[in-house]
Structure 1
Amino acid sequence: MAGALTLEIATPERLLLREQVSEVVLPGANGALGVLPQHAPLLTELGPGELAYIPDGGQRKFIAIRGGWAEVLPDYVRVLATGAEFGDEIDIKRAEEALRRAESSLTSAKEDLDTVKALNKMRRAQARLEAARHTGHKP
């Protein structure tokens, strides 16, 4: 289809999605990256965050990504994620509890490595909550 991208999202456990889309917003390690058809090729690291996409003729959808890599070609976006879930698959209560634990770990962190780990856990929990809430998913 002209003017469309194929979006493919895979994790070690499953192929989560392969769909024609008109736009993708990736959670890049250094900030959000918008991708439209005919984007210049690139390979980028993904951080924990929310991936948004618009299926052809559809409404914006959201997926929580733990991190990984994305390959962008003019007509294809391939995401290899360490973990990913659709917003409606997320247990909001568990994600809220994970966020509370991460925030607690962050305040008690004594080493730089502990701080980095706590921040990553916090970002993952926040991404899960955002994806679930944007999907309209209720606890």
Structure 2
Amino acid sequence: MALYVELVSPERSIWSGEASRVITRTIEGDIGVLPGHAPLLAVLSNGLVRIVADNGPEVRAVVLGGFLSVADDRVSILAEWSQPADEVDLATAQSELRDAEQSGDADAADRARALIAAASGAA
């Protein structure tokens, strides 16, 4: 038994396919979804989504806000913004964080922190 997972943002579809589990962070805390999970609708926190794909490597992506929906072994991750972790440039993200902190832009700082965590392999 597997989950069918879709991770999308308004700009693009990040990943879809079968997976054995999904791990992410909601405003209520970290959550893991396995086949047979009870129906759920949750608000995503900024951070990392990890999808353990059935065929292939673990999929890791940064998300900023959005929703997680689970029903009938289907997981929909509808992010306000998302980027695959392997596309994150750590030096650029660190520079963005410095700039955001200096300008007082809390949203840009949150985005940069999420990118840094993904690029450095932090969960």
Q: TM-score, normalised by structure 1?
A: 0.77
* Residues 126/52 of structure 1: CA separation in 2 closer, same or farther (3 Å cut): same
Q: TM-score, normalised by structure 2?
A: 0.86
How big is each residue's C-alpha offset from its partner over 1:59-89, in whole Å with a ceiling of 9 and x where there is no partner?
Answer: 4331000110111124111011111111111
Does 2:30 correspond to 1:18?
Answer: no
Q: Is the 8 A contact 1:38 1:74 kept in 2?
A: yes
Q: Number of matched residues?
A: 122
Percent identity of paired positions between Structure 1 and Structure 2: 36
Q: Which has the larger helix fraction?
A: 1
Tell me the residue number matched to 1:99: 97
Note the residue ranges of structure 2 that are not aligned, 5 or more in a row. none
Please state how far the C-alpha of 1:103 moved relative to its aligned partner: 3.0
CA distance in 2 between counterparts of 1:121 and 1:45 reads 19
What pairs up with 1:56-71 in 2 under 5 angstroms?
A: 56-71=54-69
Tell me the residue number matched to 1:123: 110
RMSD: 2.0
Please state how far the C-alpha of 1:105 moved relative to its aligned partner: 4.2
Tell me the residue number matched to 2:39: 41
CA distance in 1 between counterparts of 2:21 and 2:100 reads 32
